[in-house]
Structures are given as structure tokens and as C-alpha cells.
Amino acid sequence: MFWRYASRSLFVFLALAVIVIGTIVIYLSMPAWTPPFRDAQDRRLPNSIASIERWRLNGVEQSVILRGRNVANPLIVWIHGGPGISETPLLRHYNAALEDRFVVVYWDQRYAGQSLDPFGPKPTHEDVSEYVSDLDALILRLRARFHRDKVVLIAHPWGTFPGILYAEAHPGHLFAYVGIEQVADSPESERRSRAFVLAQARMHHDADDVARLVKPPGNDSLIYTPRDLLEKYGGSFHANVGIGTLALITARASEANWRNFAAVALNADFNMPAIRESSNAVLDERHTRFSVPVFFVSGRYDHQVEASLSYRYFLRISAPEKRFVWFEKSGHAPPFEESERFNAWVTHVVLPLAHR
């Protein structure tokens, strides 16, 4: 009798597991889509745009989502972090309010998110100039399509590397450049991040973490501060946000599917050259003169891209207008951790530049 009930319970459990896994597989295999803008009568707004498109930029097919309540509004181009990790579902979740006042362009960079072809060839060489060139091709196409001279460029961590180089090279195409957690001196940032985590581990008497941090890296290792320890000790996020929360939001987004998770799993396979280059990036010595308004945004508690170094970089630059904005309740992701304040800041401070 016992074995009969046990076998039935096991069968029910396995059947439920198959159903759950099958449902997840079917859900993730569905095509990505983005909802249209509708009025109170559920009619599509005539001057709106909500479109997922694939554009060939410098020979590489890449995903571009265009969303705005009114196509006459100014353009924002997001440059996500990574490399290789699309933030489009998160930006849509936390910062969709910007679509009311802008036409927002969510671009998945080559080898990231919806742009990744996991069955395609892996790059043997890759550098930031390719991303700057892709961004230039993207913006040129947007300017022609929407009959605009300029766009607003907003970049987040890794994206601030190609982003600020683009702002330096093509100021005539931009109303403003916004660098969130601006990369300044990556090697020094990692040294300070590691020192922060090590101090926290010692203060919490966590011998395992201390041993992990003081262990000499291998000959071919990138000396990155372990991101799980940064999150554990409050160096990545300060608000009620974490990797698990962000992953769940991505999984539930209509703009994401299996490609997004394949891109995360294969990140090192497709993006290691770019990761290595960004880990050695030092921008605050040579790239300091700009002909476009420049804004740096940092979370007060960010130790992943050390906020103190972003601020030091800000002090070194010259621009027609520049501001450094602290988000006092954020770590590495002010647009997600303080989304309402971030959206309001962009609307009240950056939008007038586009209407000037």
C-alpha cells in the first residue's frame, strides 16, 4: 500500500514538473512582441509607434524596438550595459514612462539579447570601435527615418564606454549625453571594488569570502570583483532590487524570449574580447573635452563601477553644460532602483534640451 501511494505521488510530481517545464519552454519559444499604444476606448493611437524591427548595422543584424506615444517627440537612444546582456525588458519595465514624452529606441547590441544568433560564428576579434560604428549607423538611420538632426543618448555601465566615445566624436548628432555609472578607469575601479568587498567580508567574519578574495588570480584571469559578493555586501544594489528580481522581470517581458537567456549563457563565448577591452579601459585621462551637454548619473552606493571614479572623471571634463547627479538610494542601477525619480529627472532636465 505504501509503495502504491508513493509511486502515485512520484508520478503526479513528475507530471507536474513536465507540465511546468513544457509551459516555460513554450513561453520562451514565442516570438518577442511589444504592445501598441491605445486610448481609453482601446483604439490604437494614430501618431504612436510600437515596433520591433531587425536592422542590419555594419553587416550584423540587430534588434531595434521603437516606442513612443507620439512620433513627433524627441528621440532617446538607450545603450545598455553588458557587453552581451540586453537591458531592454528592464528599461521597458522601469522606464516606460519616458515613452510618453520621447520616442524611445531600445537597441540590443551585437551579440546581446534579441540580436544574438547563438548558432552564428563567434567573433575572434572585437573592440569598442565596432560598437561605436554600429551606434553611428543606428543614429544615422534614425535621423533619416524621423527627419531629426539630433537624439538624446543615454548609456548604462558598459554602454558608457562606446557611448562617451560617440559623444566625443559626433557631438553634432546629440542634444545631450547621459552616462549612468560612467566608466572612467576600469582597473582602478576593480581594485577599489575588491577592497570594499574584502573589508566587508572581514567585518562580517566571513572566512570563506575572505579566502576567495585574497586567492591569487590565474594567469589568464580577469581580475573582476566577484559580482555575487558585490551584491551580497551591498556594492551592486541598494534598493529592493537584485539579480533574481531583474531576471524574473526579463523572463516575464513580452520583448524577451529564449534568445535573451541564450545570450546570458553564451556571453563569454561571444563577448570575451569586448569584456577584456572594457576591463582595461581608462577614459578619464584622454577623453575629457566635449562639445555637447554631458550628464553623469551615479548611485551613492555603487561599488561595481566605482562612483567616486565617475565623479573624478566628471571634474576633469569640459563641456558646454555638465552636471553630476547623485541618486542617494541607489547602487549600480538608478533607473531601476529609483525609477520614478530617474524618469522625472530625464523629463525635467534633459527633455528641455531637445526642445531648445
Average of per-residue pLDDT across 75-99: 96
pLDDT at 299: 97
Asked if residues 14 and 20 have their Cβ atoms less than 8 Å apart, the reply is no
**pLDDT of 30 above 70:** no
**pLDDT of 23 above 50:** no
Query: Could you state, in order of their start, the residue ranges of all structural domains in the chain?
Result: 49-188+233-355
**pLDDT of 2 above 80:** no
Q: How far is CA 350 from the centre of its chain?
A: 19
pLDDT at 15: 43
**Which of the pair, 131 or 217, is modelled with greater confidence?**
131
In 3D space, the residue among 164, 45, 179, 35 whose CA is nearest the CA of residue 96 turns out to be 35
Average of per-residue pLDDT across 319-330: 98
pLDDT at 4: 54
Read off the C-alpha cell for 37.
499604444
pLDDT at 28: 45
**Which of the pair, 49 or 122, is modelled with greater confidence?**
49
pLDDT at 356: 79
**pLDDT of 12 above 70:** no
Strand order in the sheet with 75-79: 49-57, 60-68, 103-108, 75-79, 151-155, 174-180, 294-299, 322-327
**pLDDT of 133 above 80:** yes
Instruction: Quote the CA–CA distance of 30 and 259 in Å, as a whole number.
Output: 10
**Residues 229-244: pLDDT tens digits?**
999 999 999 988 899 9
Q: Tell me if the bond preceding 293 is cis, omega within 30° of 0.
A: no
pLDDT at 240: 83
**Superfamily classification of domain 49-188+233-355:** Alpha/Beta hydrolase fold, catalytic domain (3.40.50.1820)
In 3D space, the residue among 245, 257, 260 whose CA is nearest the CA of residue 25 turns out to be 257
Read off the C-alpha cell for 206.
566571513
**Residues 272-315: pLDDT tens digits?**
889 889 999 999 999 999 999 999 999 999 999 999 999 999 99
Average of per-residue pLDDT across 95-110: 98
pLDDT at 110: 95
Read off the C-alpha cell for 32.
518577442
**pLDDT of 18 above 60:** no
pLDDT at 1: 57
Spatial neighbors of 285 by CB under 8 A, at least 6 apart, are: none
pLDDT at 13: 46
The percent of residues above 70 in pLDDT, for the chain, comes to: 89
